[in-house]
Amino acid sequence: MSAKSSQPTLMRFFSSKKKPEATDTGRVSSEKEPKVSKESNKRSRSSSRSRSRSRSSSKSPERKLEEPEKKNRPSSSSPKQKKSKTLLEVDKEIEKHKKESEIEEAKKLLALEQEIETTSANTSKVSTNDKSFMYSSLSSIFDELEQESGRLKNIACACQFFHEVLDFTPATDTDTKIRDLTMVTYLMVNRLGPDYVPGLELGLGETLLLKALAQSTGRELPQLRKEYHVEGDIGVVAQKSRSKQRVMFKPKRLSVLEVWKGLNEIAKSEGTNSQSKKIGVINKMLTACEGTEAKFLMRSLEGKLRINFGEKSIIVALSKAIVEWQLQQQKKAITTELIVKAEEQFKEAFCQLPNYEILIKIALQEGILHMVEHSGLSPGIPLKPMLAKPTKSVSEIFDTLEGKRFTCEYKYDGERAQLHLSEDGKMHVYSRNSENMTERYPDLIPVVNELKAQNPNIKTLILDCECVAWDNETKKILPFQILSTRKRKDVQEKDIKVKVCLFAFDILYYNGESLIHKPLAERRECLYHNLKHIEGKFTFATKMDTDNVEQITKFLDQSVHDACEGLMIKTLDGKESYYEPSKRSRNWLKLKKDYLEGVGDSLDLVVVGGYIGKGKRTGWYGGFLLASYNQDTGDYETVCKIGTGFSEELLQKLHDILKPTQIEKAKPSYVYDSSNSNASPDVWFEPTILFEVKVADLTTSPVYKCGITYFGDGEKGISLRFPRFIQIRSDKSPEDATSSDQIAEMYSSQANLQ
């Protein structure tokens, strides 16, 4: 999924195997009760950019993705050919080589770290205000990460910085280390806390930020607005404005703690005077800023840090720094194997417990090499959901799951929902990306109370479900588009018009016990035994256990008839059927009726540009430029232009949505061919909405830049042939878009089948 240490291995081995990777989660559902069966700019990454100077030093030769030689595709009617390996065996081989790649990367990081000088060697790290870490040290590392484009070099730089934070206080002062490391980690990922905690969002608008900047610097608002439209970066405008400003008395320097408290105060400020309060807090921090501090403070406030350093890379750097620091304290040798083990421990713990404060505390108090045994699922904290890989035919299911017992479940056209019941009796609902949706679904609270009334023994649980729009009169499922019309905030149960039904397909935690390391067959038995059907409110995914091709085909047709998207196919027994948080596994496959031909799955892509409509589309946008998301760099890489599948009513709606997000020029994070005028849209947009797109197949392109780093020549990327709009993905953020890595893997798989 990401272009990190595992990606070169993935690309190398998938270049000769089947199975594209996708972005949509597996969903399951039904209205029936289950019956257990017996059966170029930065845009183009051109060499002219100063940031590209180190790309070659950090890019492994393995990263190059060769265009596979096309082979004759066997017809669907031809006899099934004997395979030397199942696809699950191929996955195991990939995992083995991934491990080898991680060890090799750890060696390179150790060498790089020795070359890097301490980022703030010439700067005092202690703030005179509160004896905490200075914000200038953090802004310096941000500036270095922004200028450097090599991933390994950036990890090494960030690791060195985390070392400084750990060394800042005495070894015995664990509490302060936990506090400081937690603050700088969240500021680096540009958040104030876990995704599931509401009320910590920043993302302030340009109007408020420009007003605050005008007040703190004494400059005229129209001039600042003009500079902002030229620069396209509120942080750069702030830095230039502060550098020109003269003051009689030099203010005290900012500490990380002061910035942390200030940002939290702004995020939690609400009410009639909230805007003036926010401006007051911003002014106080801005007047104390020096150098690059103003740039990154304003970017943090805007919610767009732009340091080209993804969260997965941050976790690598953080885990490496902690294990090295602990080994040094214990006077033990630092080995690549222990560095890789620490990274694995932190990643696995994070997937189950995505809270940096808790995890850093566990890592420092219990030892990072023992994190997993001291962490685990906790009701009220959403784990990262397990994901499915797409499949294009029933026969491919048997090829993939050869020799395994499996089940088929309905895949619903709804919203993935993780339902939690805590010991205090409180119910929480979380989305697939850990957003707290409890306020959006107050009508689920009485449903949970009824489940508890049916079984008083229920104390705590975590369910994996699909929340689906439901018609109580016809007793039928309604499309996702109906569900998306529900209000997202300030929902009162009495005002709800679109009713929902929960379709549970997995139980992950029950009465104090984590079940993710139990086979699916056992988890399903626990689910059916402890929870009961509630008409129109709560039920289970319709399923069928069979290994008969004809029965699966009929079941697929029945799922579509019952208003579902298709089927989920899941391994039932053994370790292969364990629930693997955050992992997209071949042990879960999704088979959609619409995608039995072509790529095999839809793509969720970010709208970054628009084309002025002509003819019947005059007055609207007639087409759109779409991009994938690069999880390593935070860039949006152009992948296709789309103009098919839109009604006039939808084009009007999209114009109303996108017009306010229009910007003067491409953002620095947009990777496109700036040398080709035909590659630029008529207008650019802020990355705000996603289109779900169906595509015939994938091809290379000199114009589009998706996955450009994988071909090694820096010239061509991957584009989509015959893209067709399906729907707006209102349940996903731009960062949840299909990744460039996924599209590169899909291209590799597809090309080898041709």
**Which of 718 and 598 is assigned the larger pLDDT?**
718
Phi, psi of 485 (to 5 degrees): -80, -10
Q: Which tens digit of pLDDT belongs to each residue from 546-565?
A: 888 889 989 999 999 999 98
What is the model's pLDDT at position 77?
41
**Which of 459 and 401 is assigned the larger pLDDT?**
459
Whether pTM > 0.85 for this model: the answer is: no
What is the model's pLDDT at position 489?
83
Q: CB of 427 within 8 A of CB of 438?
A: yes
Cβ-proximal residues to 539 (8 Å cutoff; 6+ apart), any chain: 30, 31, 32, 33, 501, 502, 503, 504, 533
Query: Given 125, 211, 384, 411, which residue is catalytic?
Result: 411
What is the model's pLDDT at position 248?
58
What is the model's pLDDT at position 89?
64
What is the model's pLDDT at position 124?
52
Question: How far is Cα 610 from Cα 642, in angstroms, rounded to an integer?
Answer: 9
Q: What is the DSSP string of 132-174?
A: SBBHHHHHHHHHHHHH---HHHHHHHHHHHHHHHHHHS-TT-H
What is the model's pLDDT at position 47?
39
475, exposed or middle or buried, with CB in 10 Å at 0-12, 13-18, 19+? exposed
Bridge partners of residue 603, in order along the sequence: 693
Phi, psi of 53 (to 5 degrees): -60, -25
> Is the predicted pLDDT of residue 450 greater than 60, yes or no?
yes
Place 598 in a pLDDT band, splitting at 50, 70 and 90: low
Q: Is the dihedral of CA 739, 745, 746, 751 positive or negative?
A: positive
Q: Which tens digit of pLDDT belongs to each residue from 713-750?
A: 667 899 998 888 999 998 888 988 999 988 988 887 66
> Is the predicted pLDDT of residue 41 greater than 80, yes or no?
no
- Average pLDDT of the residues in 596-609: 79
Place 31 in a pLDDT band, splitting at 50, 70 and 90: very low
The domain 387-595 is placed in CATH, from the list 3.30.470.30, 1.20.1050.10, 3.40.50.300, 2.40.320.10, at 3.30.470.30
> Is the predicted pLDDT of residue 58 greater than 90, yes or no?
no
Question: How far is Cα 112 from Cα 116, in angstroms, rounded to an integer?
Answer: 7
Question: How far is Cα 721 from Cα 694, in angstroms, rounded to an integer?
Answer: 10
Question: How far is Cα 288 from Cα 584, in angstroms, rounded to an integer?
Answer: 46
Task: Report helix, strand and coil shares of the chain as percent, to nearest 5.
Answer: 40, 15, 40
> Is the predicted pLDDT of residue 711 greater than 90, yes or no?
no
Place 22 in a pLDDT band, splitting at 50, 70 and 90: very low
Place 11 in a pLDDT band, splitting at 50, 70 and 90: very low
Q: Which tens digit of pLDDT belongs to each residue from 175-220?
A: 999 999 999 999 999 999 999 998 898 878 889 999 999 999 999 9
What is the model's pLDDT at position 126?
61
Question: How far is Cα 507 from Cα 567, in angstroms, rounded to an integer?
Answer: 19
Instruction: Write down how long the chain is.
Output: 754
Place 246 in a pLDDT band, splitting at 50, 70 and 90: low
End-to-end CA distance of the chain: 23
- Give the domain 206-302 fold: DNA ligase i, domain 1 (1.10.3260)
Q: How far is CA 203 from the centre of its chain?
A: 18
Helix (H, G, I), strand (E, B) or coil at 317: helix
Q: Would residue 411 show up in a list of annotated catalytic residues for this protein? A: yes
Q: CB of 375 within 8 A of CB of 359?
A: yes
Residues of the chain with pLDDT > 70, as a percent, come to 82
Domain ranges of the chain: 112-116+148-197+309-374, 206-302, 387-595, 603-751
In this structure, what DSSP letter does residue 295 have?
H
What is the model's pLDDT at position 111?
78
Closest CA to 380 of 434, 334, 458: 434
Helix (H, G, I), strand (E, B) or coil at 359: helix
CB atoms within 10 A of CB 78: 8
Phi, psi of 728 (to 5 degrees): -80, 130
Helix (H) or strand (E) holding 570: strand 566-571
- Average pLDDT of the residues in 674-699: 87
Q: Which tens digit of pLDDT belongs to each residue from 337-379?
A: 999 999 999 999 999 999 999 999 999 999 999 999 999 999 9
What is the model's pLDDT at position 252?
86
Q: Which tens digit of pLDDT belongs to each residue from 271-297?
A: 888 999 999 999 999 999 999 999 999
- Give the domain 603-751 fold: OB fold (Dihydrolipoamide Acetyltransferase, E2P) (2.40.50)
